[in-house]
């Protein structure tokens, strides 16, 4: 049974079963052209998680239906440049895409553009997330692009962050947000290329309320996990850690077993499992409570995105030595 979906840098869309240790490709490899078909973002198409929407480097949106096992093309995102950084389902028939040129667009699954105006979040967006409890609030952030919270209906910024103070040498800290998540009803967490993890609270102030510098390489991947107010983040040298965000940012422990940069982390919302995927061509399943690596599967290509399924058999996987 499929436990997770992984999108590769060559464009292969893989279904992973950790119990059997098997990976199956949903699309034909021979048809892929890595520079164009590289999968840049993935999200679930519905709440039952039977459909997965993936977008490629050439901005084609593809739909994977897990019941029919078909990987078909939906439409091509036009009117923006750069790769699609974030993707989310707003409602049953609306998909919102964020491109790295800053264009935020809402589409129907057939490909009709619903937003007619030029809704732009600024150049060079790297991070995008939708607030899980509401279908009209999203946030974007990127390179020299401060964190902004948008209202989907009015296309306006409801709140934006301010840049942090200069560092100890009185140098300007560059703004390079790599990933962001809505932590809970009130707080937003971002991870940056300057190795910082920052928490913002739009109700109180525009500067981050807490900040932690985690090692010295850029932090590239972020995920919430089954514990409330905890996140899992990882940087380009493969140091993945569990952080407690109650009252500050504190590193609880690091996960072992990585050898290369991690590009995407996906943790289960209620079970203590987390999968991580990166350019060292392995998919790793860790157990958050026991801190151990449960399974490591070799997938022959470098991977960009991953999604863990709510219904999975991870608990049945035997821990490998």
299 binds another protein, rule: CB under 8 A? no
Closest separation in Å from C-beta 107 to another protein: 31
Residue with tokens 């952080």: 243
Interacting span for another protein (CB under 8 A) from 51-59, 162-170, 211-219, 244-252:
211-219
What is the closest distance, in whole angstroms, from the C-beta atom of residue 263 to another protein in the complex?
A: 8
Q: Does 261 bind another protein (CB under 8 A)?
A: yes
Q: Could you say whether residue 256 binds another protein (CB under 8 A)?
A: yes
The length of the chain in residues reads 321
Whichever of 187 and 239 has its CB closer to another protein, that residue is 239
Q: Is 241 in the site for another protein (CB under 8 A)?
A: no
HSE of 79 in the Cβ direction (CA atoms, 13 Å)?
19
In whole angstroms, give the CA distance from residue 16 to residue 315. Answer: 15
- CB of 7 or CB of 45, closer to another protein: 7
Taking CB under 8 A as the rule, does residue 117 contact another protein? Answer: no
d(CA 190, CA 158) in angstroms, rounded, equals 18
Give me the least distance between CB of 31 and another protein, in Å please: 24
> Which residue stretch of 22-30, 118-126, 140-148, 273-281 sits at the interface with another protein (rule: CB under 8 A)?
273-281
**Residue 153 φ then ψ, to 5°:** -75, -40
Residue 237 interacts with another protein (CB under 8 A): yes or no: yes
Mind spelling out the 3-state secondary structure of 300-317? CCCEEEEEECCCCCHHHC
34 binds another protein (CB under 8 A): no
Separation CA 77–CA 101 (nearest Å):
13
Distance separating alpha carbons of residues 94 and 236, to the nearest angstrom: 34
Taking only Cα atoms into account, the Rg of the chain, rounded to an integer number of angstroms, comes to 19
How far is residue 81's CA from residue 252's CA, in Å, rounded to a whole number? 39
Q: Is 40 in the site for another protein (CB under 8 A)?
A: no
Exactly one of 27, 236, 264, 312 binds another protein (CB under 8 A); which one? 236
Taking the C-alpha atoms of residue 255 and residue 258, their distance in angstroms, rounded to an integer, is 8
Rounded CA separation 48/224 (Å): 19
Q: Which stretch binds another protein (CB under 8 A): 92-100, 122-130, 235-243, 284-292?
A: 235-243
Does 193 bind another protein (CB under 8 A)? Our answer is: yes
Select the span of 36-44, 128-136, 217-225, 304-312 touching another protein (CB under 8 A).
Answer: 217-225
Based on the shown chain and the rule CB under 8 A, indicate whether residue 281 belongs to the binding site for another protein: yes
User: Which residues, in sequence order, are CB contacts of 175 under 8 Å at separation 6+?
Assistant: 143, 144, 145, 146, 163, 192
> Two tokens at 184?
């809970």
* Contact region with another protein (CB under 8 A), list: 26-34, 183-191, 216-224, 311-319: 216-224
Is residue 171 close enough to count as binding another protein by CB under 8 A? no
Q: Does 109 bind another protein (CB under 8 A)?
A: no
259 binds another protein (CB under 8 A): yes
The site that binds another protein (CB under 8 A) totals a number of residues, namely 18
Residue 263 touching another protein (CB under 8 A): yes
d(CA 151, CA 119): 11
**Distances in whole angstroms, Cα of residue 218 to Cα of each of 195, 214, 252:** 5, 9, 19
Residues 118-147 that bind another protein (CB under 8 A): none
**Binding site residues, another protein, CB under 8 A:** 193, 216-218, 220, 236-238, 256-257, 259-261, 263, 279-281, 302
């Amino acid at each position: 049974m499929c436990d997770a979906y992984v999108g590769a840098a060559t464009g292969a869309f893989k279904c992973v079963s950790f119990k059997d240790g098997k990976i199956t490709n949903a699309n034909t490899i021979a048809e892929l052209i890595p520079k164009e078909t590289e999968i840049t973002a993935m999200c679930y198409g519905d709440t039952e998680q039977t459909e997965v929407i993936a977008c490629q480097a050439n901005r084609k949106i593809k739909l994977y239906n897990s019941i029919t096992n078909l990987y078909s093309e939906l439409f091509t995102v036009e009117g923006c440049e750069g790769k699609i950084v974030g993707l989310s389902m707003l409602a049953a028939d609306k998909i919102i895409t964020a491109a790295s040129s800053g264009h935020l667009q809402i589409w129907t699954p057939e490909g009709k553009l619903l937003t007619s105006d030029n809704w732009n979040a600024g150049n060079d967006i790297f991070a995008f997330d939708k607030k899980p409890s509401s279908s009209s609030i999203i946030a974007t952030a990127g390179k020299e692009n401060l964190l902004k919270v948008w209202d989907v209906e009015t296309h306006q910024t409801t709140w934006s962050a301010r840049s942090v103070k200069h560092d100890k040498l009185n140098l300007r800290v560059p703004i390079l947000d790599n990933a962001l998540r809505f932590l809970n009803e009130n707080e937003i967490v971002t991870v940056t290329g300057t190795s910082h993890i920052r928490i913002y609270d739009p109700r109180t102030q525009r500067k981050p309320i807490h900040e932690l510098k985690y090692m010295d390489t850029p932090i590239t991947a972020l995920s919430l996990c089954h514990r409330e107010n905890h996140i899992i983040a990882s940087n380009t040298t493969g140091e993945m850690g569990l952080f407690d965000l109650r009252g500050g940012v504190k590193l609880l422990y690091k996960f072992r077993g990585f050898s290369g940069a991690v590009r995407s982390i996906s943790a289960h919302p209620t079970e203590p499992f987390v999968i991580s995927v990166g350019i060292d061509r392995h998919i790793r399943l860790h157990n958050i409570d026991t801190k151990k690596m449960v399974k490591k599967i070799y997938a022959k290509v470098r991977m960009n995105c991953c999604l863990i399924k709510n219904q999975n058999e991870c608990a049945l996987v035997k821990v490998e030595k």
